[in-house]
A and B are shown apart, each in its own frame.
Chain A
Amino acid sequence: MQNLLEIKDLNVEYYKGGQAIPAVRGVDLAVKPGEIIGLVGESGCGKSSIALSIMRLIPPKQGKIISGQILFAGRDIVKFSEDECRDYRGNKIGMVFQEAFSSLNPVFKVGDQIKEAIKLHNPDLGQEECRQRSIDALRLVNIPQPKERYGSYPHQLSGGMQQRAMLAMALACHPQLLIADEPTTALDVTIQSQILDLLVKFKSELTMSILMITHNLAIVSQIADTVAIMYAGQIVELASREKIFNNPLHPYTIGLLNSVPDIATRKERLVQITGQIPDPGNLPDGCPFDPRCPEALTACKDAGPLMVEIEEQHFVRCFKQINVTQG
């Protein structure tokens, strides 16, 4: 199947005190129509930067796409003019931002904001029809009493309601690709499950593709077709959901899976991956995970490993795994 989105060798940098900070380093990622990709990784590894690159929303004074291509239905978004970007945003690619509250406008009613988004993307619809669709959108994301809530201002909604209102706005425009950056962090499991079911419904009924950015492996295990594990600006493991959960190969992925709090046991201390992610302005020469890696080899200090297809459709960036397969 033709890819809807294809990211090729994407590099993103930010500027900090005159220094260039590499936040995304040579990322390749493809999304098929109707596919849900889970992009997982520790805070600061560059997930949102990928999302913002696809939307062409990296703040110009703060950073930029250094190189690479982002092909959407065959056209390179990186080369788009500002007008073309505007046409894509919302219409073809919808996004739920990580910071739900700051992306809602505090001075307008939530329902009106959704209505405006619908109107913008469907100029032929009448005001009343747009209003009705806005209420439907709020109902769809399970906001109780949507008619009454239409008139609420963002600060009058709880954290989880704001997050759902953002999602309602993105979905109301029926995008081909939805980028959802931590869309359910403020939601409890029952509402979260309803939202995930809703996303799956959009995926199967409208073949909407989803790039689901999250730190929550439980979410990924529920809905993702493919999982990409990210570390220090790179994708370090990429495979189907089944392979990632049943046969994780990268020591970092294994560490992540082990640190999930398990309800069956109450541990005095939670298992954590020791150490911290490297400062992106000061990356080690070798594998960026080396300082924290329980399985590090001497080779890992000298150079970063390349992405290798260890088994069919299972890609890993790790010297140890490369050694294992090469005998």
Chain B
Amino acid sequence: MIMADLLEVKNLTKYYPVEKGVFKQSVGTVKAIDGVDFSIAVKETLGLVGESGCGKTTCGRLIANLLPPTGGQVLFDDEDIYSLRGKHLTAFRKKVQVLFQDPFSSLDPRQSIYDIITEPIRIHRLHNKKDTRTKVEELLGLVGLPNDIVNGYPHQLSGGQRQRIGLARILSLNPRLIIADEPVSSLDISIQAQIINLFKDLQQKYDLSYLFISHDLGVVKHIAHRIAVMYRGKIMELADSEELFARPFHPYTKMLIQSIPSIRTRKNAVLAGLEKDELPVPVKGCAFYARCAKAEDRCREMVPILEPKGEKHFVCCWNPE
């Protein structure tokens, strides 16, 4: 059951300057996020999918208020997160947590595992020393790690173990929204399944919301209630999970669904329309134009907008079918 909106993203943009030479002359911009709208309800998981470089991490960092936007708004509990200051900002930083893409560089190699897990507790002064011990054991239990792991250092852990430490660490703050940036893509499948099940259990237990970022539609399908498909900084399609797989409208979504590899059929991913450097970044028209098999003249001329197409289903395409 989906409740009220926890997070609302309105026309969010983030442009990075492309600089050249010693004087850092700006020679253009990378439109990492280009006018994005969506919302996440309490206890909802929104999956954000798209290919490498489309802007998923940037979007996650913007929502966590770790990066200033170029334009647009993000409302959390109806408050504009970019105007939060002082204790309101501190409170926000507790409620919204990020699980980073790279479990290797996100853990400080000089800190012991115990110090890593308890750092947020110390920063926010949540527990005394004794309670912290108990809390750590509880957290380790939640993510399925043995207690004695806390005496070690990150380099002694495998990739999967590190990612679980990252999860234990942010759970210590009882967040309401977790932005999980590719949380399982570096894990092996049996642990992927465990972690996805764990995400679901935690959601039930603590009414958590997730922005679940992944390049893998197959994984997202198993956890997200709704899915947003992103291409070059824009949302191309947004719908309930089941609906998106049953009735994809956007040619890009269709391509993504078709290219999910399966060990059962052992089919190869569909290689239609590759992302190549020859493809110009269009100044006008649809971002997907150059790769689209269905492209028409107006697709080259006019930018499509995300419009409703059926119940709770939105598509950004001039020619959806």
- Output the residue of A144, A159, A216, A219 with the most chain B CB within 10 A: A159
B90 within 8 A of A: no
Contact of B221 among A139, A143, A266 (CB under 8 A): A266
Given contacts A101-B105, A186-B182, is CB(A158)–CB(B193) below 8 Å?
no
Residue in B closest to A149 when the chains form the complex, CB atoms: B277
A270 within 8 A of B: yes
Residue in B closest to A241 when the chains form the complex, CB atoms: B266
Given contacts A101-B104, A146-B277, A156-B16, is CB(A221)–CB(B192) below 8 Å?
no
A188 within 8 A of B: yes
Q: A144, B266: Cβ atoms under 8 Å? A: no
Residues of chain A lying within 8 A (CB to CB) of residue B260: 189, 263
- Which 3 pairs of residues, A with B, have the shortest CB-CB distance? A43-B160, A160-B52, A215-B188
Nearest-CB distance from A64 to chain B (Å)? Answer: 14
Contact of B222 among A101, A102, A156, A266 (CB under 8 A): A266
B156 within 8 A of A: yes
Name the interface residues of A211-270: CB closer than 8 Å to any CB of B.
215-219, 221-222, 245, 255-257, 259-264, 266-267, 269-270
Nearest-CB distance from B88 to chain A (Å)? Answer: 29
A128 within 8 A of B: no
Q: Residues of B at under 8 Å CB distance from A?
A: 16, 18, 20, 49-53, 57, 101-102, 104-105, 144, 146, 151-152, 155-161, 182, 185-194, 196-197, 200, 215-219, 221-222, 241-242, 245, 255-256, 259-264, 266, 268-271, 274-277, 279
Contact of A188 among B158, B215, B264 (CB under 8 A): B215
A123 within 8 A of B: no
Q: B105, A218: Cβ atoms under 8 Å? A: no
Q: B105, A190: Cβ atoms under 8 Å? A: no
Nearest-CB distance from A28 to chain B (Å)? Answer: 22
Q: A186, B158: Cβ atoms under 8 Å? A: no
Contact flags A142-176 to B (C-beta < 8 A → 1, else 0): 11111010010000101111001000000000000
Residues of chain A lying within 8 A (CB to CB) of residue B160: 42-44
Residues of chain A lying within 8 A (CB to CB) of residue B261: 189, 193, 218-219, 221-222
Residue in B closest to A14 when the chains form the complex, CB atoms: B156
Q: A186, B105: Cβ atoms under 8 Å? A: no
Residue in B closest to A270 when the chains form the complex, CB atoms: B193
Q: A186, B275: Cβ atoms under 8 Å? A: no
Bound: A215/B219 CA distance, A: 14
Nearest-CB distance from B62 to chain A (Å)? Answer: 14
Q: A259, B193: Cβ atoms under 8 Å? A: yes
Residues of chain B lying within 8 A (CB to CB) of residue A322: none
18 contacts between A and B (CB under 8 A): A42-B188, A44-B158, A48-B158, A142-B275, A161-B52, A186-B101, A187-B215, A188-B51, A188-B216, A215-B187, A215-B191, A245-B266, A260-B263, A261-B193, A263-B217, A270-B193, A273-B190, A279-B146
Residues of chain B lying within 8 A (CB to CB) of residue A42: 160, 188, 190-191
Bound: A69/B4 CA distance, A: 62
Residue in A closest to B32 when the chains form the complex, CB atoms: A158
Bound: A150/B51 CA distance, A: 21
Given contacts A148-B18, A221-B266, A276-B144, is CB(A102)–CB(B276) below 8 Å?
no
Residues of chain B lying within 8 A (CB to CB) of residue A269: 197, 200
Bound: A322/B168 CA distance, A: 42
Q: B189, A261: Cβ atoms under 8 Å? A: yes
Nearest-CB distance from B263 to chain A (Å)? Answer: 5
Bound: A263/B144 CA distance, A: 26
For the complex with contacts A143-B277, A216-B189, A261-B222, 20 further pairs of A-B residues with Cβ separation under 8 Å are A16-B152, A42-B191, A43-B160, A99-B102, A99-B104, A102-B102, A142-B274, A187-B215, A188-B50, A188-B216, A189-B260, A190-B269, A216-B188, A217-B189, A245-B266, A256-B190, A259-B189, A261-B193, A261-B218, A273-B190
Nearest-CB distance from B223 to chain A (Å)? Answer: 9
Bound: A101/B256 CA distance, A: 26
Q: How many A residues touch B, CB cutoff 8 Å?
A: 68
Q: B151, A159: Cβ atoms under 8 Å? A: no
Residues of chain A lying within 8 A (CB to CB) of residue B217: 189, 263
Contact of A194 among B16, B255, B271, B277 (CB under 8 A): B271
Name the interface residues of A109-163: CB closer than 8 Å to any CB of B.
139, 142-146, 148, 151, 156, 158-161
Contact of A186 among B52, B151, B192 (CB under 8 A): B52
Bound: A219/B161 CA distance, A: 22
Residue in A closest to B100 when the chains form the complex, CB atoms: A159
Contact of A255 among B157, B190, B275 (CB under 8 A): B190
Residues of chain B lying within 8 A (CB to CB) of residue A267: 222
A207 within 8 A of B: no
Contact of A159 among B52, B216, B276 (CB under 8 A): B52
A185 within 8 A of B: yes
A296 within 8 A of B: no
Q: B263, A144: Cβ atoms under 8 Å? A: no
Contact flags A41-64 to B (C-beta < 8 A → 1, else 0): 111100010000000000100100
Residue in B closest to A23 when the chains form the complex, CB atoms: B158
Contact of A263 among B50, B187, B262 (CB under 8 A): B262
Q: B18, A260: Cβ atoms under 8 Å? A: no
Bound: A263/B159 CA distance, A: 25
Residues of chain B lying within 8 A (CB to CB) of residue A186: 52, 101, 182, 185-186, 215
